[in-house]
Amino acid sequence: MPGYSVEESADIDPNILIKHICCICKMLVRDAVQTISCGHIYCRQCMFEALEGGSEACAECKHIFPGEPTENTMDRKCYFTDGRINTAVGGMPALCVNRTNGCDWKGTISEADNHRSVCSLY
C-alpha cells in the first residue's frame, strides 16, 4: 500500500507537509523509513519495492544506498524505521476524501484508513 492521500490531510502547513512526503509515491509517508546515507523518507513498502526492483540509489537525490544487497531485501542495512515521522504523520488532522460529497468525518491520518472502510460514500 502506498502512502496516505494528501487529500485526506486537513489544514497542514505545506512546509511541514513537504517534510513528510515519500520520495517515491509522493504521498504522505506510511510506515516511514529513513535512508541512513541521505536522510530521505520513504514508505516501508516503497523502499521494499525499490530494493526488490534492483534500485541502488535514492529516488530523490541519487545517493547510492549503503550496504550490500542481501537475500532478504528488507534486511539490507540502508535505512531505519523513523518513529518520529510515523508519530507525526499519524497524528496529523484528516478529513474524509468524500467531504465534497457530504461526509463530515474528522479525525487523524492514522484513523483515516479505518474510516475509509466504513464510510458509506466510498
Nearer to Zn ion, 55 or 71 (CB): 55
When the beta carbons of 13 and 36 are compared against Zn ion, the nearer one is: 36
Which residue among 28, 33, 41, 43 contacts Zn ion (CB under 5 A)?
A: 43
**Rounded to an integer, what distance in angstroms lies between the CA atom of residue 62 and that of residue 67?**
15
When asked if residue 98 is in the footprint of Zn ion (CB under 5 A), the reply is yes
Residues paired with 42 in a beta bridge: 33
- Residue 71 CA to residue 32 CA, distance in Å, equals 22
Q: What is the 3-class SS of 24-35, one letter each residue?
A: CCCCECCCEEEE
Rounded to a whole number of angstroms, the CA Rg of the chain reads 16
Give yes or no for residue 20 binding Zn ion (CB under 5 A): no
Q: Is 51 in the site for Zn ion (CB under 5 A)?
A: no
- Secondary structure letter of residue 18 according to DSSP: G
Judged by CB under 5 A, the number of residues near Zn ion is: 18
Q: Which stretch binds Zn ion (CB under 5 A): 4-12, 14-22, 76-84, 106-114?
A: 14-22
Q: Which of 4, 34, 40, 112 binds Zn ion (CB under 5 A)?
A: 40
Interface pick for Zn ion out of 32, 92, 94, 96 (rule CB under 5 A): 96
E strands present in 4-122: 32-35, 41-43, 79-81, 93-95, 106-108
* Piece in contact with Zn ion (CB under 5 A), picked from 11-19, 34-42, 47-55, 83-91: 34-42
